[in-house]
A and B are shown apart, each in its own frame.
Chain A
């Protein structure tokens, strides 16, 4: 047990000293970058956190699963929890997979556009260690041509979208634009000088880059529009936007009523301090609303003065005090002085 406590203290100290030195030492000493592995180390901590989420999930299933199986008190709530968890996990996974799918082609087209740009840049820089322009253009042509059937299929799917809602109207407008962009890309690709016999000029590449970018944007827009009509996306939207966000908003809206109740209690003049607070609050409110301006045009100035001088001064005092105390507490934890006192107590 003693060794275990010592090991924990050692690990805490080593973990703390890394971040301390990372902050205190200069970015590089004698040409050696101190924080060159910082990102990997930070990612390691994130991975540990992710593993903890997995453990939490297993624990949740065990606790609530056993409650349901043995019909212990609150088993019905456990059912609701596990059902909610499963539904949300399914919807979120489906939404993620669908989003990746719907932006896959757009990503490929954008990559081809970058390739076309790179061909032009390399030609302008007269780079010797790359393939000739005509050869690279041939690769660009081959890869871009493979995308054409998918773009045409997108046009068909957009045109076939049935219904009379706003999304269908959007799809009907989008379909000819995608078709036009596809045709423009095809004709541009045909004009692209390529192959062994062709002249290696890059005059057409800027045009191709632009057309690839247009096709990428429209493809993303079209695929996203189609994905939004799927059951998976609608189920996700129902759970997240219509249910989760709405419940949060409902709770947040309660604040309005509670603020009124709290303000009533606070603004009852019970002492000189509360009288002072009432006056300050009244001035701030009058400075905020048009009615105050109508009474006297100096109220906004008074409000700004109150908020930026006495109020922010008090805020800073609280923050400085809390930060110093937090820093001291952090040092105590780092040096395991805090855990020592807890251990002694136990």
Chain B
């Protein structure tokens, strides 16, 4: 909207976006059943880990160039699930990292997961390794690791840039079953071409909720879907107003942005 500082209008919009989330988190905590549609890519996560268990080969999970932030927390939900499965089937889980802070956070999540399965002794901290924060050095390290370890399943969840195809091709050449998910729209086509299953955009956030079934995550997923519905309605109304203004200029209908800036401001 071309503003440096938000004000009342944006505050109202934020409340409208966050309100449903808090409401549904409360509902989920009261143990109300919240239905989440099955996403094929999420189901494939268990399939890929199972395949690795059958082959007796390692599993790899990377969050790419993701730094500490909201996206990482969504990735950690999936990592927790994968790590529990790996601990249960006594699989070697490789988690190459490109960010030193993420390395520490991931280590904590891995410890939680292995402890939850009662197999903390199986956790090898050397498998949670820092490769490089330099994009292509990280990609080179990851590619070598996939080849050397002959991984059977790879999970690429998080933020990726030009190295996405290098990472996914390395898994493909190692003959791994690959599940990818990214919020970077530019990298989605590369993953679709190279991976067996691809979760697009917000499905990354939905995956953690679906897998962990935690009330907070389920409630947020429900809430954010309602918030998006609100945005969808706003977009439709905006399109209708713009179309009517274009066909019947004499109507001079005010658009939503104009209304927010002038009335709610």
Chain B residues whose CB sits within 8 angstroms of the CB of A294 once the complex forms: none
A: residues with CB less than 8 A from B are 23-27, 52, 56, 247-248, 251-252, 254-255, 258-259, 261-263, 265-266, 314-315, 317-322, 324-333, 337-338, 340-342, 345-346
Please judge, given known A-B contacts A27-B4, A341-B214, whether A328 and B185 are in contact too, CB under 8 Å: no
Given contacts A265-B193, A320-B231, A333-B73, contact A328 B220 (CB under 8 A): yes
Residues B116 and A325 in contact, CB atoms below 8 Å apart: no
Which residues of B have CB within 8 Å of A319?
185, 201
Distance of A11 Cα from B140 Cα, bound (Å): 38
> A295 CB to closest chain B CB, in angstroms?
25
13 A-B pairs (CB sep. < 8 Å):
A23-B5, A247-B136, A248-B136, A251-B136, A251-B140, A258-B165, A261-B169, A262-B194, A314-B185, A317-B201, A326-B70, A327-B17, A332-B21
Q: Are B74 and A329 in contact (CB under 8 A)?
A: yes
Interface check B25, CB cutoff 8 A: yes
Given contacts A52-B100, A265-B194, A266-B192, 20 further A-B contacts (CB under 8 A): A24-B14, A27-B4, A258-B166, A262-B190, A262-B193, A262-B194, A266-B189, A318-B200, A321-B201, A324-B231, A326-B183, A327-B70, A328-B17, A332-B216, A333-B70, A337-B25, A338-B73, A341-B215, A345-B80, A346-B115
**What is the predominant secondary structure among interface residues of chain B facing chain A?**
helix
Given A259-B165, A328-B220, A341-B217; A320-B6 close (CB under 8 Å): no
A255 and B162 in contact (CB under 8 A), knowing A266-B192, A321-B228? yes
- Let me know if B146 is at the binding interface, CB within 8 A: no
In contact, B70 and A329 (Cβ under 8 angstroms): yes
On chain A, the residues within 8 Å of B100 by CB distance are 52, 56
Main secondary structure of the interface of A (DSSP, over half): helix
Known: A324-B227, A329-B74. A255 touches B165 (CB 8 A): yes
> Does B87 lie at the interface of the complex (its beta carbon under 8 Å from any beta carbon of A)?
no
B26-57 interface mask toward A, CB cutoff 8 Å, 1 = contact, 0 = none?
Answer: 00000000000000000000000000000000
B residues 182-223 touching A (CB-CB < 8 Å): 183, 185, 188-190, 192-194, 200-202, 204-206, 214-217, 220, 223
A247 to B137 Cα, complex, angstroms: 8
- Check: B224 CB closer than 8 A to any chain A CB: yes
**Which one of B10, B71, B80, B134 contacts A24 once the chains associate, using CB atoms below 8 Å?**
B10
Judging by beta carbons under 8 Å apart, are A254 and B183 in contact? no
**B223 partner, pick from A252, A328, A330, A342, beta carbons under 8 A:** A328
CB neighbours of A324 from chain B (8 A): 17, 202, 224, 227-228, 231
**Residues in chain A near residue B78, CB distance under 8 A:** none
